[in-house]
Structure 1
């Protein structure tokens, strides 16, 4: 929160932010102050040695599905994407290949759960690492296990929930409790149309703030400590190296042809066209915040149900 204040032009001390949070959100402060179970020690070798991939289904009942990836050493978040599905392996592979393309390389190892949505990523990782000469090449370059052992990304999901996900869960739960959401195709499509881009913007902000914030040293945690983006891009400052495995452009091109990338339409195309038409008739513009999204959702739902 202190970093968010600074990034929005507010010059304020940490203690001031801390005292204000205690006044404005005493229950949240109390929850975050509770002692937790001590988990096993996680030790990473360096950036791009292992990536942790996982899906988050907290908003899936409302039509918004989340998938993310974090670097195990630096805790730098590589992608967090919301879409209409997180169970299509070709869509998840699209997130992976885009990140490989941006880095011009893949990690030594990927860790994910046993879900079928990771099957295409697994095949691509094997393809990239099949000729590797290190102990983690070939079939050892992809590790599958239970979610409890995918520690880094599971931990970051809790960060995302505290910073924004719980707000959206409460907002959609309110729609449901008021009888304005019944979970059918139309309602999910309207949620996607009205809120998907707003939610992705919110998530992108949290990702940016997380990657640029400072992870402070603690006797209860093991390093490295610093800013995730710096630890990821300049590992030599922390006495380690970048373990990125170079990938040839033609190899990436082969994998790209097997991917499904996110559509520019946040929902079903027919519903999208209908919503755009209704908004144009009423002179309504795209929402810029959740409350405007709620108003648009109620308007579109009422108009469509009235015309059916």
Structure 2
């Protein structure tokens, strides 16, 4: 059964699979039958482990933000990529392969504030992340307050256009089959369309809550995860470009970075979101929030004392909202995009990894500046 294979690959326990199959898919199996299915497909967690050399080779792929990640996060990534191993093996390999990174991560300390939500889709927290914005990369995110499942995290050339943010929201509503009971937004014109759409779809004028970004606790806390597991790598990479004189904080330089890096950064973020949604949140003694995997907390909230607050929506109203949205198209300015495509074809420029992409960024920047008669 395809669901069993998917859930095993995502690292779920037998009990978690049992609950998801029954609640989300209406598949009723005894636990013994489920265990036999797993055994028949040779889905064993303690047998047929991946060779340690192969595990080490996977972990050693630290050319991007992987070098920011701890052993629990890396263990989850191993499972998601079909590598069967245990946490202790990953911890030891990380110590051997990246001892300095382990020491740096071990010094971090987070202070957790008390938060409580009634169930999934009771509150969606929406905000923008601007740490990469000086380099032209703007990020928008939304997290479910109860389960901590990421609803979306999108990197694009802007997160200030209210129609773009509305597009993310409307897509999420379509995918979920309804809208949340309420949304929590930062103050700002970019969120105006989303707030109006939420009120329109839910037929509740009080369903959009505004407040300062610093008070939007759930999403602000997740930005720390994005920073440590992903964004820090890109910040340091772009800072190095700037230090070396290959970035001048102007329109052209930002556009070239968008052209070269936006898709790679989005793929990196997608990996972080996938890992986050399936990782296990540990129990915290002073927290009122349930512990477990965000994806399962969101799918079967009744197991954790909650219920789903998703609001049914009128499809005609959704169509009206879609007409007011703008969706991703070109990663950068359209003219710059076609210039870069032509230059890559003319000079036979290609890319396969992040370091070749850095060289591509530098080369395209120089070629365009030369055509414009700008000396750098």
Alignment equivalent of 1:153, drawn from 219, 233, 240:
219
Within 2, Cα distance between the matches of 1:8 and 1:190? 31
2:120 is matched with 47
Higher relative contact order (CA 8 A, sep 6+): 1
Q: TM-score, normalised by structure 1?
A: 0.92
User: 1:109-164: CA deviations, max 9, x gaps?
Assistant: 1001111111111111111122xxxxxx32x2111112222111011100011111
Q: How far 1:80 sits from its partner (Å)? A: 0.4
Corresponding position of 2:302: 236
Taking the aligned partners of 1:290 and 1:220, their CA distance within structure 2 comes to 41
- Describe the shift of the 1:218–1:33 C-alpha distance in structure 2 as closer, same or farther (beyond 3 A): farther
Post-superposition Cα deviations, 1:264-294, rounded to whole Å, max 9, x if no partner, equal x111111111111111112223x34321210
**Are residues 1:141 and 2:207 paired?**
yes
Report what 1:304 is aligned to: 368
Secondary structure of the corresponding residue to residue 151 of structure 2: strand
Structure 2 match to 1:279: 344
Unaligned stretches of 5+ in structure 2? 1-73
From 275, 280, 294, the counterpart of 2:358: 294
| Distance in 2 of aligned mates of 1:60 and 1:150 | 20
Q: Distance in 2 between matches of 1:110 and 1:91?
A: 17
Instruction: Give the Cα–Cα distance (whole angstroms) in 2 for the partners of residues 288 and 210 of structure 1.
Output: 26
> Is the CA contact 1:211–1:228 (under 8 Å) kept in the aligned structure 2?
yes
**Cα contact 1:113–1:147 (8 A) shared by 2:** yes
Give, in whole Å, the separation in 2 of the partners of 1:29 and 1:45: 38
Cα separation, 2, equivalents of 1:153 and 1:279: 38
Q: CA deviation at 1:218?
A: 2.9
Check whether the contact 1:74–1:229 (CA below 8 A) recurs between aligned residues.
yes
CA RMSD of aligned residues (A): 1.6
Q: Counterpart of 1:105 in 2: which secondary structure?
A: coil
- Partner of residue 269 from structure 1, selected from 320, 334, 356: 334
Asked if 2 retains the 8 angstrom alpha-carbon contact of 1:198 and 1:288, the reply is no
How far, CA to CA, are the matches of 1:174 and 1:34 in structure 2? 24
Whole-angstrom distance in 1 between the partners of 2:262 and 2:321: 27
1:242-257 correspondence runs (5 A): 242-257=308-323
Which of 83, 87, 95 aligns to 1:10? It is 83
- The aligned counterpart of 2:291 is 225
- Match of 1:175? 241
- Secondary structure of 1:55's aligned partner: strand
Q: Would you say 1:122 and 2:192 are equivalent positions?
A: no
Tell me if the contact between 1:21 and 1:29 (Cα under 8 Å) persists in the aligned partners.
no
TM-score (norm 2): 0.76
State how many pairs are aligned: 298
Q: Which of residues 269, 272, 289 is equivalent to 1:203? A: 269
Gaps of 5+ in 1: 131-136
Q: Distance in 2 between matches of 1:271 and 1:50?
A: 39
1:43-98 C-alpha deviation (Å, 9 max, x unpaired): 11000000000000001111110000000000000000011111111110110001
- Equivalent position of 1:133 in the other structure: none
Query: For the Cα contact (< 8 Å) 1:70–1:152, is it kept in 2?
Result: yes
Return the offset for 1:305: 1.4
Q: Which residue in 1 is equivalent to 2:179?
A: 106
> 1:185 is matched with which residue?
251
Larger Rg: 2
Equivalent-residue separation in structure 2 for 1:226 and 1:29 (angstroms): 27
Q: Which residue of 1 aligns with 2:326?
A: 260
Taking the aligned partners of 1:6 and 1:38, their CA distance within structure 2 comes to 28
